[in-house]
């Protein structure tokens, strides 16, 4: 299979700068291409027939998949018919051994040209164990391959753009000169993350090739209802971005597509910045097998699309110029059909996935984290506040691991973070490894994921838990699922540090706790330390393990004297999933974490003066939860109360209480009680804030009521 790159062989074109690609006219982003005859002369007959074959393979896969669905053998399909010319041009130009790909679900011809076998598609179509993309876990047309650098795709549209930027950033920082390709339909460019990705890539001249395959319909919504660019053009909409090469082309024309792709790759590899190609294509089949475009599209428009079919156009060119005759064309079509039929039959007979494997690879199962020596020393250094312990952990880990990159808002010196948790890092390790991000949380997480997929270790900061929500899609649908949806072929062990919690008079938007929401998402570990030693040990563990971590840091504990501890040494690690019995007791068990843990300790000391024995457990990590320590304590004391700062309804304490009720019912001498915040937003006034959040007096009284129950 021919693999052509603009830096190799006969596909080299004249070096040009950005202005050479853009004309100053009413259609300023039309491709300023070489004459088509000059492009055509760069191809041999074999290369042209190979391109035709790739187009036919992709089209025949579409037809076969739809037939299988009608036969009830499969469940879903999204077609790429009408997009083949631009995709084959991309596949023949990019290098699958070096470049990275973030394709979207219509990129059949691209992935086939790049090396994905038809049987690979059908094994996914039939949800077989041998599906190399996901082992039958992900929908068809969601590509993935660790042999061709295609991170396993997800279904949300637009999330791939920031990840591609992260991958390109990783390549640039490592000095690797290649291209990161990312694509979507035109509808997805309405997503904010597309604009964030263009912004970051343009600002830093990253080697990203953005390809927008504009078939003018996002399911049923036409382009004019999506795009604010001049003449409903995506490329026009991007006109303000410096360093971004923009081209708008006929994506159904193979030669025009090839010329645009060559120019874009040449521009990118010259270090001038990213490139965007808006390829106008046609959607010859409905959006998906669940859609019927005849319900909302004009029949005359559908007929016009058929006349622009890229395969028909390319075939006519080959016939007219005597690269083949009608008999040879029919022979190639028949050979392709037979190949696809064989591939489908072969894949249909593959083994189905085993039910007992359905829950595997939510987390890393390699045993790597179990090999660490945890808590092998006792913290014995000078006393340190929690925020400084976190800072020291970052310094120590960055010193021993050059793959760690730290970024977020305001984290570089001289600011060093709004709480000074990253102070000194950029001074010591340089702005290449420690840098300020744009003020965009989705960008922070999306870029971090793309970097992690290349083997780097991003440790990012979200300034306040209250503002993590723009990144929620990247965390829930991407970060948490990548290992599972790829059947353990890909992982993104990003550490996300985030300041949380109230009691600082921060009002509604600087006081949230977020742990219960993220605890509902399989695939993410959550740490919530309550003291300096645990914060340092847990953060160092989080950085070293191969799973993503949300690291909650209560800002009310950053400099609290009661959260100070002797500082652990540089080898001190705290395991995830191991709670700590802070105070031993026999009359009641208190389960807590964060600030509430300390309020519980103070209450226990007061109750001890009244001859009550209170056992206090700091769970330290939300996910995984040390259920064993909690249950053993309850079996001993026969009473339990769960105390935390988050709301009472659906706070994580509800999960702990449910497990205790389920597994310790016969040991209980009283109800499983909870103390938590009221179901309200947190107000700014200290008086009002104290009426919402748990107070020490409330916690003391709540524990005592259960003791005398």
Question: Catalytic: 644?
Answer: no
Q: Tell me the helix, strand and coil percentages in the chain, rounded to 5.
A: 45, 15, 45
Q: How many angstroms separate the CA atoms of 423 and 670, rounded?
A: 49
Question: Cα Rg for the chain, rounded, in angstroms?
Answer: 29
Residue 583 near residue 624 (C-beta atoms within 8 A):
no
With 0-12 / 13-18 / 19 or more C-beta atoms within 10 angstroms meaning exposed / middle / buried, residue 610 is exposed
Token readout for 416 is 């060093």
3-state secondary structure 598-657: HHHHHHHHHHHCCCCCEEEEECCEEECCCHHHHHHHHHHHCCEEEEEEEECCCCHHHHHH
Tally: H helices and E strands in the chain? 25, 21
Q: How many angstroms separate the CA atoms of 267 and 244, rounded?
A: 10
Q: How many angstroms separate the CA atoms of 556 and 513, rounded?
A: 12
Other beta carbons within 10 angstroms of residue 395's beta carbon come to 16
Residue 266 near residue 15 (C-beta atoms within 8 A):
yes
Catalytic residue chosen out of the listed positions 77, 510, 554, 644: 510
Other beta carbons within 10 angstroms of residue 290's beta carbon come to 11
Q: Which residues contact 185 (CB under 8 A, 6 or more apart)?
A: 104, 106, 157, 212, 213, 214, 215, 218
Which residues are paired to 171 by β-bridges? none
Catalytic residues: 510
């Amino acid at each position: 299979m021919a693999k052509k790159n603009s830096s190799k062989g006969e596909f080299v074109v004249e070096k040009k700068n950005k202005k050479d690609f853009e004309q100053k006219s009413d259609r300023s982003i039309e491709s300023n291409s070489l004459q088509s005859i000059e492009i055509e002369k760069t191809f041999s007959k074999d290369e042209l027939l190979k391109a035709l074959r790739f187009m036919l393979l992709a089209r025949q896969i579409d037809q076969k998949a739809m037939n299988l669905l009608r036969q009830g053998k499969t469940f879903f399909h999204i077609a790429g018919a009408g997009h083949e010319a631009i995709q084959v041009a991309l596949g023949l130009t990019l290098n699958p051994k070096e470049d990275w790909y973030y394709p979207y679900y219509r990129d059949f011809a691209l992935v086939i040209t790049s090396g994905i076998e038809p049987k690979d598609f059908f094994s996914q179509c039939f949800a077989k164990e041998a599906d190399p993309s996901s082992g039958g876990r992900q929908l068809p047309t969601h590509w993935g391959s660790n042999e061709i650098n295609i991170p396993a795709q997800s279904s949300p549209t637009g999330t791939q753009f920031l990840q591609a930027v992260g991958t390109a950033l990783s390549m640039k920082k490592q000095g690797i000169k290649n291209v990161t390709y990312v694509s979507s339909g035109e509808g997805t460019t309405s997503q904010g993350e597309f604009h964030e990705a263009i912004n970051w890539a343009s600002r830093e001249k990253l080697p990203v090739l953005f390809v927008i395959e504009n078939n003018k319909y996002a399911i049923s919504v036409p382009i004019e209802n999506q795009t604010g660019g001049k003449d409903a053009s995506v490329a026009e909409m991007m006109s303000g971005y410096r360093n971004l090469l923009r081209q708008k082309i006929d994506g159904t024309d193979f030669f025009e597509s090839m010329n645009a792709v060559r120019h874009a790759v040449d521009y990118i590899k010259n270090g001038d910045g990213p490139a965007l190609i808006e390829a106008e294509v046609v959607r010859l089949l409905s959006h998906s097998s669940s859609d019927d475009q005849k319900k909302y599209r004009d029949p005359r428009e559908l007929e016009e699309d058929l006349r622009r079919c890229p395969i028909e156009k390319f075939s006519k060119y080959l016939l007219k110029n005597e690269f083949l005759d009608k008999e040879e064309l029919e022979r190639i079509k028949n050979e392709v059909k037979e190949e696809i039929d064989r591939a489908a039959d072969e894949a249909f007979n593959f083994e189905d996935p085993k039910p007992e494997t359905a829950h595997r690879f939510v987390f890393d199962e390699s045993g790597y984290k179990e090999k660490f020596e945890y808590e092998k020393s006792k913290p014995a250094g000078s006393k340190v506040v929690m925020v400084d312990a976190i800072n020291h952990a970052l310094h120590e880990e960055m010193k021993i691991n050059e793959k760690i990159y730290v970024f977020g808002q305001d984290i570089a010196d001289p600011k060093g973070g709004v709480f000074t948790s990253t102070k000194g890092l950029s001074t010591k390790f340089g702005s290449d490894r420690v840098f300020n991000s744009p003020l965009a949380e989705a960008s922070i997480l999306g870029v971090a994921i793309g970097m992690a997929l290349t083997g780097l270790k991003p440790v990012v900061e979200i300034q306040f838990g209250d503002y993590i929500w723009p990144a929620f899609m990247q965390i829930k649908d991407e970060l948490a699922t990548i290992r599972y949806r790829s059947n353990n072929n890909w992982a993104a062990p990003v550490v996300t540090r985030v300041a949380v919690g109230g009691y600082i008079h921060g009002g509604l938007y600087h006081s949230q706790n977020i742990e219960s929401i993220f605890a509902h998402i399989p695939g993410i570990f959550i740490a919530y330390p309550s003291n300096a030693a645990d914060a340092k040990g847990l953060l160092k563990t989080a950085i070293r393990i191969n799973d993503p971590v949300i690291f909650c840091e209560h800002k009310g504990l950053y400099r609290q004297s009661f959260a100070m501890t002797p500082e652990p040494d540089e080898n001190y690690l705290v395991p995830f999933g191991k709670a700590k019995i802070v105070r031993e007791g026999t009359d009641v068990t208190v389960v807590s974490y964060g600030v509430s843990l300390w309020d519980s300790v103070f209450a226990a000391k007061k109750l001890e003066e009244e001859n009550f024995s209170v056992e206090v457990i700091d769970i330290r990590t939300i996910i995984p939860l040390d259920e064993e320590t909690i249950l053993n304590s309850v079996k001993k004391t026969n009473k339990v109360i769960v105390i935390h700062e988050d709301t009472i309804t659906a706070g994580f304490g509800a999960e702990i209480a449910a497990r205790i009720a389920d597994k310790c019912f016969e040991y209980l001498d009283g109800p499983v009680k909870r103390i938590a915040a009221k179901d309200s937003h947190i107000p700014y006034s200290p008086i009002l804030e104290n009426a919402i959040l748990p107070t020490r007096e409330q916690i003391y009284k709540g524990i005592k009521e259960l003791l005398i129950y």
